Amino acid sequence: MFKLAIFDIDGVLNPAGCPVQPESMAALKALETHDVKISYASGKHPWYITGGLIFSGLLRKDTIIVGESGGHVFFPNQKQSMLYTTYIEDMQILRKIFKEDDLMNECWEEPKETLFSLFPRKREIVPLVAHRFEGIIRDNNLQAYVISHVDAVDALQMGLSKEIGLSILSEYLGISMEEMIAFGDGMNDVEMLSTVGFPVAVANAEEPIKTLVKKRGGYITSQPYGRGVLEATDYIIESLLT
């Protein structure tokens, strides 16, 4: 029996930069009705996520947030955090070196505690920023890796992924990975979707994500974003929870 559902936010519950869609709200409430706990796993800082959940009326007393792609697990009710800091000094070195690069003037940094995230002012230079990150990492032998998004570039500590955050949830809640469902759309969801009992990819997910979910026998929705979340939730309730 599945006991916990973990949702990426941007690209899953809503298009990036938009509020949580009504269909997603309905899906979350339906899962709660079937005694499935809800958690959220995003690349954003947990405080940003918490604000969005409060705005959407989705924050519960027992909500746990996996932020910064697994590097920052936050317990809003207790206002406590658990951080992944194994190679945090390498992140500081990368940030210091890149900030001396002229390319930094073309980017906005999203404040985070365990990784380095940049949003280029022009999406066309995302590959250039990623390439520069990779060069700094290689030349300085840093324990880090790079994930590119449509509008951003993340440098993460080696070993850091959403799976790290899920392992903390598993231990804290006494729920195994096999008892978890996860919804994702992007490359920072790979490890999460590879380890849970049942993975879901929304229709707008990147192709490697769909391939992974299909290979694992998960569910790929025919609809994007919130409509896809509700579609998959209906399937899960009818086929896996009853």
For residues 101 and 88, what is the distance between their CA atoms, to the nearest angstrom? 21
* 113, pLDDT greater than 90: yes
* 17, pLDDT greater than 90: no
235 residue type, one letter: Y
**What are the tokens at 87?**
């190679």
For residues 91 and 144, what is the distance between their CA atoms, to the nearest angstrom? 7
pTM of this prediction?
0.94
pLDDT score for 109: 98
Can you list the domains of the chain with their CATH numbers?
4-83+161-239 (3.40.50.1000), 88-157 (3.90.1070.10)
H or E stretch covering 53? helix 46-56
For residues 193 and 216, what is the distance between their CA atoms, to the nearest angstrom? 9
* 241, pLDDT greater than 90: yes
| pLDDT tens string 177-186 | 999 999 999 9
| pLDDT tens string 94-107 | 999 999 999 999 99
* 242, pLDDT greater than 90: no
H or E stretch covering 41? strand 37-41
Residue with tokens 């804290």: 172
| pLDDT tens string 136-167 | 999 999 999 999 998 999 999 999 999 999 99
| pLDDT tens string 19-46 | 999 999 999 999 999 999 999 999 999 9
Q: Chain-centre distance of CA 189, in angstroms?
A: 6
HSE-CB at 192 with a 13 A cutoff on CA atoms is 34
